[in-house]
Amino acid sequence: MTVQTLRNSLLALAAGALTLLACAQPVSPQSGALARGEYLARIGGCANCHTMPRDGIPFAGGRPLSTPLGPIIATNITPDPVHGIGRYSFEDFKRVMREGTAPGNKHLYPAMPYTAYTKASDEDLQALFGYLMHAVPPSDLAPPPTKLVFPFNQRWALRFWKAAFLPPERYVDKPARDAEWNRGAYLVQSFGHCGSCHTPRGVAYQERGYDESAGRFLTGMVNDDWYATNLTGAQGAGLGRSDAGSIASFLRTGHAEGKAAFGPMAEEVEQSLQYISEADAQAVAKYLKTLPARRAEGAYAPDRPDAPGPRQGNRTSDVESIGARVYRSFCAQCHQPDGKGVGEAFPRLAGNPSVLGDDATSLVRLVVQGGRGPRTATGPAPQTMPAFDGTLTDVQVAQVLTYVRQSWGNAARPVTTNDVTRLRSKLK
């Protein structure tokens, strides 16, 4: 046998082996579908919930999600065949996403936002499934099971919850609206699942509405001792004074108009929303700007004659000087004596919707525990707010927040010492 003949034989054998190998392996999605699935996983926040903070294995679960029922442990959604979703068919995956039912008729708690994903299209779910199955490395991590107290540990009862509260339909374009508006509505109601945090929930932990037809949709809600703000057109604590461009910028950077994301929203921007495309961010903003003003809270009128200035306190008679003194001593250096902040570094407090809401939970928590803005590719460097837990008393926290909420044209209800004491006790 000549060298050339041997070479040709080896090439033929190699080609045959490659053919057999290709036939034996599952067909991977095209790169375009993988990219689409990765994009949906990012903006849908899949890794946020299914990855332990700091050094967790991506998508391997284990993160406890706080709910009124108790902590729900996020599952492993890598393609591991034992501890993950490696044995799922697409029909299994679709049933999980739209019905909250895993193989074996295991009913999932609505901490998993299947009430939103039920509106997702087949094409998007197929892309997401392909990405998780073919682009995410498998992990054999076995997260601890969710253990709730009786009667919340009775998963079989969730079938009745779903029958009462699970929206059955996919998102359908509104013919009276243009393509951009429909794209924004689809993202907000499905992969964005904005209502999971920003829509009030009822006594059965159900969202009080799933689209713009519901009067309480996106009107604000306390979650895990943070207040998710009103996203309707309310002029005080809502988006009524923000234009669509500013909203789109806030989604991608966590900063706009002197406002900065904090708490869970900072994490959402950093881990998820900064990856939303400019076109999709504009579509979401366009949709949100069409939501009518609902649940009016607070007001901002900097030009009114009786608007108190930075030296006039919070109009609570004999305690007004406490709030003013605390503000000048601990807050004015960053947020400025006039409450207008410093560019994108330190957020403005005058007219800030987060300052004007009826619920001051987030404000109290920020003062007590501090916080950090989001780190994004296109936004400003994140700034850190120090914690004042060991510096300010409950009375001082209440008074400085009342001062802020009633100065420079802000008009919001006072914060009481009991508000601060109750939250501090819960956090500890």
Q: Is the pLDDT of residue 24 over 70?
A: no
Confidence of residue 26 (pLDDT cuts 50, 70, 90): very low
Q: What is the pLDDT of residue 61?
A: 94
C-beta separation of 164 from 204 below 8 A: yes
Q: Residue 367 and residue 347: Cα distance in Å, rounded? A: 14
Q: What is the pLDDT of residue 129?
A: 98
Q: What is the pLDDT of residue 55?
A: 85
Q: What is the pLDDT of residue 69?
A: 85
Q: What percentage of the chain has pLDDT greater than the value 70?
A: 89
Q: What is the pLDDT of residue 54?
A: 83
Partners of residue 207 on adjacent β-strands = 201
Q: What is the pLDDT of residue 166?
A: 94
Segment 398-416 shows an average pLDDT of 96
Both tokens of residue 53?
A: 């903070």
Residue 26 or 126, more confident: 126
C-beta separation of 295 from 234 below 8 A: yes
DSSP string, 360-417: -HHHHHHHHH-EEPPP-SSSPPP-EEPP-TTTS-HHHHHHHHHHHHTSTTEE-PPPPH
Both tokens of residue 27?
A: 């067909």
Q: Is 360 exposed, middle or buried (0-12, 13-18, 19+ CB in 10 A)?
A: buried
Segment 148-152 shows an average pLDDT of 90
Q: Is the pLDDT of residue 23 over 80?
A: no
Segment 204-208 shows an average pLDDT of 94
Q: What is the pLDDT of residue 226?
A: 95
Q: Which residues contact 299 (CB under 8 A, 6 or more apart)?
A: 235, 236, 356, 410, 411, 412
Nearest to 285 by CA among 258, 250, 254: 250
Rounded to the nearest integer, the mean pLDDT of the chain is 89
202 three-class SS: coil
C-beta separation of 280 from 187 below 8 A: yes
Residue 28 or 59, more confident: 59
CATH T-level fold of 299-427: Cytochrome Bc1 Complex; Chain D, domain 2 (1.10.760)
Q: Which residues contact 87 (CB under 8 A, 6 or more apart)?
A: 81, 103
- Dihedrals phi, psi of 136, to nearest 5 degrees: -95, 125
Q: What is the pLDDT of residue 68?
A: 85
- Dihedrals phi, psi of 42, to nearest 5 degrees: -70, -55
Q: What is the pLDDT of residue 30?
A: 61
- Architecture of 30-138+158-164 per CATH? Orthogonal Bundle (1.10)
Confidence of residue 97 (pLDDT cuts 50, 70, 90): very high
Q: Residue 154 and residue 161: Cα distance in Å, rounded? A: 12
Least confident of 12-26, 77-91, 303-317, 400-414: 12-26
Residue range 272-312, pLDDT digits in tens: 999 999 999 999 999 999 999 999 999 999 886 555 544 44
Please list the residue range(s) of the chain that carry CATH number 1.10.760.10.
299-427
Residue range 353-368, pLDDT digits in tens: 999 999 999 999 999 9
Q: Residue 297 and residue 407: Cα distance in Å, rounded? A: 16
Q: Is 241 exposed, middle or buried (0-12, 13-18, 19+ CB in 10 A)?
A: middle
Q: Is 91 exposed, middle or buried (0-12, 13-18, 19+ CB in 10 A)?
A: exposed
Q: Which residues contact 32 (CB under 8 A, 6 or more apart)?
A: none
Q: What is the pLDDT of residue 169?
A: 87
CB atoms within 10 A of CB 83: 17
Confidence of residue 17 (pLDDT cuts 50, 70, 90): very low
Confidence of residue 209 (pLDDT cuts 50, 70, 90): very high
Q: What is the pLDDT of residue 168?
A: 80
Amino acid of residue 279: A
Residue that has been written with the tokens 């989604």 in this structure: 251
Give the DSSP H/E element, type plus range, for residue 72.
Answer: strand 72-73
